[in-house]
Amino acid sequence: MDFLAGFDLNALLPFIAIGFAAQMIDGALGMAFGVISNTLMVGVLGIPPALASQRVHIVECFTTATSGVSHLIHGNIDKKLFFRLLLPGMAGGILGAYALTSVDASVVKPWVLLYLSGIGIYLLTRGILYPPKIKDAKHVAPLGLIGGFLDAAGGGGWGPVVTSNLLIQGADPRKVVGTVNTVEFFLTLTISATFIWQIGIADLAGATLGFLIGGVAAAPFGAWAAKHIPAKAMLIMVGIVLTLTSLYGAYSAFS
């Protein structure tokens, strides 16, 4: 196959490993794949933000599809929450993709990351000190709109923004992770289509293909983990992952 001509598997293996690890975290905790992948593409590989975001979302079309089916099988999806997030998230994604291809979102991103760091610390403290009390989330549609916008504009952010804020409102952690991951499939399709319309199709090769292979392979395991991790432990792990990734992103953006 011409597509694989001269293909260096050894060079691809680190990206497969990163994609696998990122999707394991994302599938189990509802965040991190886009943030980790986008950070590597922009910060390490030097890919322009709009192109990096496009490639991340093309990969996520496959990883979120696999993850969504896996969460459905394990009963991790809240149907009511799913439909409350779906259309606002897609609308926000379209707006964010247009914004990233026309304006520089780097001015806002560091402050968003600092905000997410604060939420991460709050969730970590809440998980350690208090047993989680489950209740219905109230502010869902605006959250979906903002999460979709930041996900497209920042190359990742749907999970950190939406998952963390739903958990703050007291929603069931397992249902939040499963539902947010499943809605993300439709969000990534929308964002990818918008990017393709705006800047064309990026080559699916090299690091991008590595992320794709690793992410798809890990998706079923992440859904299984989300079902079996206790709610208290999930809050603590979400807090740790969100705090560390957001602080690192903010440090990189300000430096």
Sign of CA dihedral 84, 80, 239, 181: negative
Backbone angles phi, psi at 47, to 5 degrees: -80, 135
User: What does the pLDDT read at residue 78?
Assistant: 92
pLDDT at 246 over 80: no
Q: What is the mean pLDDT of residues 127-144?
A: 77
Angstrom distance (rounded) from CA 248 to CA 113: 9
Angstrom distance (rounded) from CA 124 to CA 168: 11
Backbone angles phi, psi at 45, to 5 degrees: -90, -10
Residue 125 φ/ψ region, left for φ over 0, alpha for ψ in the -120 to 50 degree band, beta for the rest? alpha
Q: Judge whether 125 and 226 are in contact, CB under 8 Å.
A: no
For the segment 71-113, what is each residue's pLDDT rounded down to a tens digit? 888 888 999 999 999 999 999 988 887 776 666 656 666 776 6
Q: Judge whether 19 and 211 are in contact, CB under 8 Å.
A: yes
For the segment 19-41, what is each residue's pLDDT rounded down to a tens digit? 888 788 777 777 777 777 776 66
For the segment 39-81, what is each residue's pLDDT rounded down to a tens digit? 666 666 666 666 777 777 778 788 888 888 888 888 889 999 9
- Tokens for 62, please give them: 């496959």
SS3 7: coil
Q: What dihedral angle (degrees, nearest 10) is formed by the CA atoms of 83, 85, 88, 94?
A: -110
Question: DSSP label at 201?
Answer: P
Block residue for tokens 């489950």: 134
User: What does the pLDDT read at residue 199?
Assistant: 60
User: What does the pLDDT read at residue 18?
Assistant: 79
SS3 218: helix
Radius of gyration of the chain (CA): 17
Considering the chain, what percentage of its residues have pLDDT values greater than 70?
Answer: 76
| Pick from 3, 19, 12, 24: nearest CA to 241 | 24
Backbone angles phi, psi at 5, to 5 degrees: -60, 130
Block residue for tokens 């979400």: 238
Question: DSSP label at 30?
Answer: S
